[in-house]
Chain A
Amino acid sequence: MKTLNEIKCTFPARSENESFARTVVCAFAAQLDPTVEELADLRTAVSEAVTNSIVHAYRGIDGGMIAMTVRLLPDAVIYVRIADKGCGIADVRKAMEPLYSSAPAEERAGLGFTVMESFTDKLSVHSKLGSGTTVTMRKKIRHGTEHDRH
């Protein structure tokens, strides 16, 4: 699909960057004039993906990096790809089950993928043990589409 606009950034997998990642995606999406709710959905979904990389992918590993790509696709679709080179997920289907967490003792609710799935239109997760995980999400900004028609 044709990319109309794109940004890329890479940052260390440190928890203080969770806020940075959310803010970057929202700033990029602002060009579509999203509603407050659409922006909040995107913000929350990005936060979950980045937190997963920090909490799970790079557990016990220093210096891990997260690569984030945000694209504007035709029909007012925001595409977000968040990739790490961490430990990878052995069983993606199990990891995506609501309430499943590999770290319940740390009060992880096991809802990261559930939130990403519910708050975006399309979620895909590719992972390879020892190589890392790539999460891609697409969300159509309906407010922006309506806005363009007027």
Chain B
Amino acid sequence: MNLVELKQEPQKLTAALSGELDHHHAKEIRETVDLAVREQLPPTLVLDFTKVTFMDSSGIGLIIGRFHLMEECGGVLEIHNPSPQIRKVLRLSGADRLAVIRNHLSGKAEKA
């Protein structure tokens, strides 16, 4: 199963994630995303959660790690379309304060 699909645009790199983001799948996603970020040094990295059906604290580790990577590269991190379950985990961890969270339907940036 393809867990992450990358889309490169002039100012941003979008990683569209899919399936269940747990410890089992986090490593593969991390390696794919980090390789692309280090190659392309995008000003914005978007983690698109539209097709993610589940996330536990392994996903929080993934988000915090990518936040630090983007900080190191001088870029920013955005999280798109997290489900209510994912928002709850984001809120609990405080990771919602590290990234701009957007909902595609409204298009507005918001807090989780």
Mark A residues whose CB is within 8 Å of B. Answer: 15-16, 18-19, 22, 37, 40-41, 43-44, 47-48, 51, 54-55, 106-109, 111-112, 114-115, 118
Contacts and interface: CB of A to CB of B under 8 A. Distances in A.
Contact of B60 (A37, A106, A109, A118): A109
Contact of B24 (A19, A40, A108): A19
A117 to B, nearest CB: 10
Identify the interface centre among B55, B58, B60, B89: most chain A CB within 10 Å of its CB. B58
A40 B53 CA distance: 10
Tell me if A's interface is mostly helix, strand, loop or mixed: helix
A48 B54 CA distance: 12
Give chain B's interface residue range (CB within 8 Å of chain A): 20 to 34
A54 B23 CA distance: 9
A16 B24 contact: yes
Contact of A109 (B22, B54, B57): B57
Contacts of B95: 109
Interface string B86-112: 001100110100000000000000000
A115 B23 CA distance: 15
Contact of A115 (B22, B56, B61, B84): B56
Identify the interface centre among B54, B56, B60, B89: most chain A CB within 10 Å of its CB. B56
